[in-house]
Amino acid sequence: MRFSDIIKRSLRNLLTSKARTILTALAIAVGTFALTLTLGASNGAKDYANNIIKSNFDPTELIVAKDKNLFSQQDASKPQVYNPSFGSVTTFGGGSRQVEYLNNADIAKIASTPGVSSVQPNITVSLQYVTRDGQKKYIGTLATYNSYQKPTLLAGSIPDNIPNGQVILPQGFLSSLGFSSASSAIGQNIRLSVQNNTSLNSALINPFATSATQDSSKSQESVFKIIAVSETPSTSISAQTSLYMYSNLNVVESLNNYIYSGTSSYQKYLEAYAKVTDGSNASKLNKAQALIKKEGYSVQSVVDTEKLITQFISVIEGIVTLFGLIAIIASLFGVVNTMYISVLQRTREIGLMKALGMHRKDISWLFRIEAGLIGLFGGMIGSALAIGIGTALNPFISNKLSLGTSKLLIFKASQIVILIIVLAVIAVFAGLLPARKAAKLDPIEALRTE
């Protein structure tokens, strides 16, 4: 029998027992539904992670730190050995740690590494307060703006190099600082204040000192003009970073120096960004990474960061996939059962086909294809339901999770097609035992069956 005839005959047999076929296919559809959603969620999570990375990291840069444990999990079961040459003990990752910082000599050393075009310390300044005439004072953070970040702007524009004394204000500050709209904030002045840490320390030593004394002697207030208002990004690394204000490196660095002047943390940096010449070339990036690492620094590329994030997603994906697979395996037993019943019901038909000269291999294929078609239908139903429901709920869920323009579920046609084909092939294998039984039937006995 031609293969096309076997498929047609199998299809007709399935349609003869519609209810049985649909019920068995639905069992497979449950597993497929779960797997399709898992794939969609995994794609969505990876896409979101990529967006976060793209918005927060320059792929041609390397993140360099002096502390060996910064990019890896520290052994938390043992206490850290105190090192007098390291910085002060700080709360880090939920526990007290002493972190080894980069200094200007390190920055210069990294900058001299072959393949590195420039090095910029990562500086984020904790502001004493942010305010505007007639408004309350608010806590804020000022960070260095990098042109690759390309935030979505509600108003204004960002030049390649932000001039001194200018700032990008995040959307979250608008109403707090008394602006009615983003456009009304453009060109307006705000005041940012930083406090020297030695003054802060003395205040801690002498809690009875008046705040007025502290502010006047050890604080610096600067006026900044708002040049742009950025939309609250959906791709912030944390909720806090969505309230970051941005200015140029010189401004941020000078404020940072003011804060830490006279302390052991003066001109010390947790990490720095090393820009690699032609860093979009993976081999050049890897080469520079290896050279910096050889100098005794911890180095992480965007790819490493991406791996770290996707590793977590993959674990979750693996667990959900496992549940989906269990559901599919359970449903395959249903296929086996259905096919056994089919063989029993069609024993005389099998006998007739054998009498008419149908080879047992073709008979076996007839039942295997039937099983495969059930798998195919189940896969198609499950995937269609998952895509339909997922697509309908996607905007709602994505909005609830504040994913911005990213979507929680991203369905890829190629993945769905592969999933359905794989299911059909697995179902063909599930039909192997009943098909073997059919193929081995004695035609005479089969024809005698009542």
Partner 1 sequence: MIEVENLTKIYGKKDTTFTALNEINLKIENKSTVSIIGKSGSGKSTLMHIMSGLDEPTSGTVKIDGIDIFAMKEKKIDAFRSSKMSFVFQSFFVEANATCYQNVLLPLEIAKVGITKRKQMVLDALKAVDLEDKVNAKASTLSGGQKQRLAVARAIVNKPSILFADEPTGNLDSINGDKIMKLLFGLNKSLGCTLIIVTHDPDIAKHTSMRILIKDGQIEGIEKGRK
The residues of the shown chain that bind partner 1, judged by CB under 8 A, are: 1-2, 5, 9, 12, 16, 348-349, 351-362, 443-444, 447
Selection from 298, 240, 309, 248 nearest residue 271 by Cα: 298
427 exposure class (CB count in 10 Å sphere: 0-12, 13-18, 19+): buried
Q: What count of Cα atoms within 13 Å lies in the side-chain half-sphere of residue 278?
A: 7
- Give whichever of 17 and 254 is closer to partner 1, judged by the CB atom: 17
Distance between CA 211 and CA 303 in Å, rounded? 47
| Nearest-approach distance from CB 402 to partner 1, in angstroms | 56
| Nearest-approach distance from CB 404 to partner 1, in angstroms | 56
Q: Which alpha helices (DSSP H) does 57-120 contain, by range?
A: 104-111
Q: How far lies 98's CA from each of 82, 90, 288, 370, 377, in Å?
A: 7, 6, 28, 66, 60
Distance between CA 284 and CA 275 in Å, rounded? 11
Both tokens of 71, joined, read 């990019």
| Nearest-approach distance from CB 439 to partner 1, in angstroms | 11
Both tokens of 6, joined, read 């076997």
- Give whichever of 6 and 420 is closer to partner 1, judged by the CB atom: 6
- Give whichever of 94 and 357 is closer to partner 1, judged by the CB atom: 357
- Give whichever of 63 and 446 is closer to partner 1, judged by the CB atom: 446
| Nearest-approach distance from CB 359 to partner 1, in angstroms | 5
- Give whichever of 5 and 295 is closer to partner 1, judged by the CB atom: 5
- Give whichever of 1 and 111 is closer to partner 1, judged by the CB atom: 1
Pairing of β 138-144 and β 244-247: parallel
Amino acid in the structure at residue 256: N
| Nearest-approach distance from CB 371 to partner 1, in angstroms | 20
- Give whichever of 68 and 440 is closer to partner 1, judged by the CB atom: 440
| Nearest-approach distance from CB 430 to partner 1, in angstroms | 24
Q: How far lies 56's CA from each of 50, 191, 238, 414, 432, in Å?
A: 10, 26, 11, 30, 53
| Nearest-approach distance from CB 354 to partner 1, in angstroms | 8
Distance between CA 207 and CA 215 in Å, rounded? 14
